[in-house]
Amino acid sequence: MKRAHVSGAGIGVTLALLFLIIVGGWRYDGFLSSYNILTVLRYNSMFALVSLGMCFVIMTGGIDLSVGSVAAMTSVVSAYLSPYGLLPGLLGGVAAGLCAGALSGFIIVKLRILPFIATLAVMLAASGVGLLLADNQSVAVSYDSSFTSLGQGSLLESFQPDWVGGDNANWLGTALSLFFNFPTPAWLALVAYVVATVLLNWRPFGRHVLAVGGGEEASRLMGLPTDRTVFLVYLMSGGLAGLAGVILASQFGAGQPIEGVGWELFAIASVVVGGTLLSGGRGSVLATLAGVMLLGLIFTILNFENGMGWISLSAYWQSVIRGAFLLVVVMLQSKLARPITA
């Protein structure tokens, strides 16, 4: 019964996403062009990674406010390491994110402080560390190493045969060209989502996460490693935020200590739109991905709509529409969820 409700929300958000894509493709020229699709995927992969970590945190009944400033901090760290190559930049950034996540986990598990406040403190601390390291400026990444290929490149680009693509390609050609030009950050996000789906559905860790979210005390009494599960979830969120920060630096060519403002709330919104309940205990990884894409597409659609010239909505409408969308989703959820609880 309860699981049916979750997949219902997941199907709802997926249908809404498909509807948006179909309407966009029918209404706007170039909306389904490979250029547009790849741009949307490349840009939103950072948010997809951050939202994935948030999804796991929320499933345990917690919250992680630090993801945005952790990503900003790790973008600085990886920018400093970028002259040494792609791997040092990547590993350094992720390690910095893991440290921040471990700190959150430690404060929550050992000091028993509410996740909201613990991660608020880590948010401030990460932001302070990022600004200190960067001396309050952007840090340019090195273009001499391969570091920027992580955010700007496409993993399989060099394998693309000559006959793929071209101007008058049929659907198969377009699909193959999409495959070979699939952005590297989107591959990273895709792999992360596949691994997370496996973890959640087929590994003990996933069961523990849902059990802790359903009732921490009960899980503890059942002998589940609740503290370890909670710690690991924040560690994971920190690591994914770190990865997002590395992509940020690599994609925009600079470590930016003041970026990431509001990312945490965007991620929470994506998770909620994806139907994961904030009270914990239930959730879906793939619906979160649909939530990220849905909120991300609103911006793209707004651009295309303005391009048609019928209306002229400033970019500021984007947040109004996102907020309204979130409102509709939570109201629907509250209507759906009430018969179960009350």
Partner 1 sequence: MSVDLKEMLIKPASSEETEGRQPRPSAAAWLSRYGAYLALALLVLFNLAFTPHFATMQTFSVNLAQICTIVIVGVGMTLVIATGGIDLSVGSLMAIAGAIAPGFFTGYYFPSAPPYLNIALSIAVPIAVAGLFGLFNGWLVAGFRIQPIIATLVLFIAGRGIAQVWTNGDLQVFKMPAFQAIALGHVLGVPLQIWIMLAVVILAAWVLRRTVFGRQVLAVGGNEAAARLSGVPVGRVKCLVYVASGLCSGVAGLIVIAMNSAADANLIGMGTELDAIAAVAVGGTLLSGGRATTTGTLVGALIIQLVRYTLLANGVPDSAALIAKAALIVIAVWLQRQERA
Dihedral, CA atoms, 325, 336, 290, 25, nearest 10 degrees? -60
Residue (76 or 81) nearer to partner 1, CB: 76
Instruction: Note whether 250 and 143 are within 8 A (CB).
Output: no
Check residue 156 for interaction with partner 1 (CB under 8 A): no
**Residue 137 binds to partner 1 (criterion: CB under 8 A):** no
CB of 173 to partner 1, least distance (A): 40
Task: Record the tokens describing residue 311, joined without a space.
Answer: 């209306």
3 binds partner 1 (CB under 8 A): no
Stretch that binds partner 1, among 12-20, 23-31, 32-40, 319-327 (CB under 8 A): 319-327
Helices (H), the chain: 2-27, 34-59, 67-81, 86-109, 115-134, 149-152, 171-180, 184-202, 204-214, 216-221, 226-252, 263-273, 285-308, 317-341
* Contacts of 86 by beta carbon, 8 Å cutoff, 6+ apart: 145, 146, 147, 149, 150
Q: 170 or 312, CB closer to partner 1? A: 312
Among 17, 94, 99, 107, binds partner 1 (CB under 8 A): 107
Tell me the window of 1-9, 118-126, 246-254, 299-307 that interacts with partner 1 (CB under 8 A). 118-126
Strand partners, 183: 154
Nearer to partner 1, 190 or 258 (CB): 258
CA atoms of 259 and 137, how far apart (whole Å): 11
- Regarding 312 and contact with partner 1 (CB under 8 A), the answer is no
Is 117 a binding residue for partner 1 by CB under 8 A? The answer is yes
Residue type, 176: L
CA 20 to chain centre: 20
254 phi and psi, to 5 degrees? -160, 145
Binding flag, residue 326, partner 1 (CB under 8 A): yes
Among 87, 140, 195, 261, binds partner 1 (CB under 8 A): 261
Q: How far is the CB of 321 from partner 1 (least distance, A)?
A: 8
Kindly list the residues in this chain that would bind partner 1 in the complex (CB under 8 A): 63, 65, 107, 111-114, 116-118, 120-125, 127-132, 136, 261, 265-266, 268-269, 272, 278-279, 314, 316-324, 326-327, 330-331, 334-335, 338, 342
